[in-house]
Amino acid sequence: MSGVNCFSHIQGLELDWACVTWDADFRYTPQGWQHWSFTGDRWNRIIKPERRFYQKNSYRVLLTRARQGMVIVVPPGDPDDPTRKPEFYNSTFEYLQNIGFETI
């Protein structure tokens, strides 16, 4: 979700069903949520509190658009691509499973 600026355009939008792909920019870890931004050829930590808030809010907006149901896709990652390592995604996937999301 590198283009977080586009999310303000969907506020107020309601959909019957939605599909959201969860990227490595907002990762769950045992230490809590981590905020990242992809720039150039690598991930960089987001440090500024206002940017972290905006990113978290962007996910909140996306996750509250569906009225009837939603599919969240967490990619498996690619061990051959250093920008898409499986460990960037695995803990988020496990977190969503642990809080009751059904795997299909």
For 72-95, the pLDDT digits (tens) are 999 999 999 999 999 999 999 999
The pLDDT-based confidence of 1 (bands split at 50, 70, 90) is very low
Q: What is the pLDDT of residue 14?
A: 81
Q: Exposed/middle/buried for 41, CB within 10 Å: 0-12, 13-18, 19+?
A: exposed
pLDDT value of position 12: 66
pLDDT band at 15 (very low <50, low <70, confident <90, very high): confident
Question: Of 42, 41, 44, 24, which Cα lies nearest the Cα of 33?
Answer: 24
Alpha-carbon span 71 to 56, nearest angstrom: 19
Answer whether residue 4 is part of any domain. no
Considering the domain boundaries, does residue 7 fall inside one? no
Q: What is the pLDDT of residue 21?
A: 95
Look at residue 1 and tell me if it is in a domain. no
Is the residue at 49 inside a domain? yes
Cα distances from 93 to residues 22, 53, 65, 84, in angstroms, run 9, 21, 20, 14
For residue range 34-86, list pLDDT tens digits in order.
999 999 999 999 999 999 999 999 999 889 888 899 999 999 999 999 999 99
pTM of the model: 0.81
Q: Which domain holds residue 22?
A: 13-98
Total number of domains in the chain: 1
More confident residue, 17 or 2: 17
Structural domain contains residue 3: no
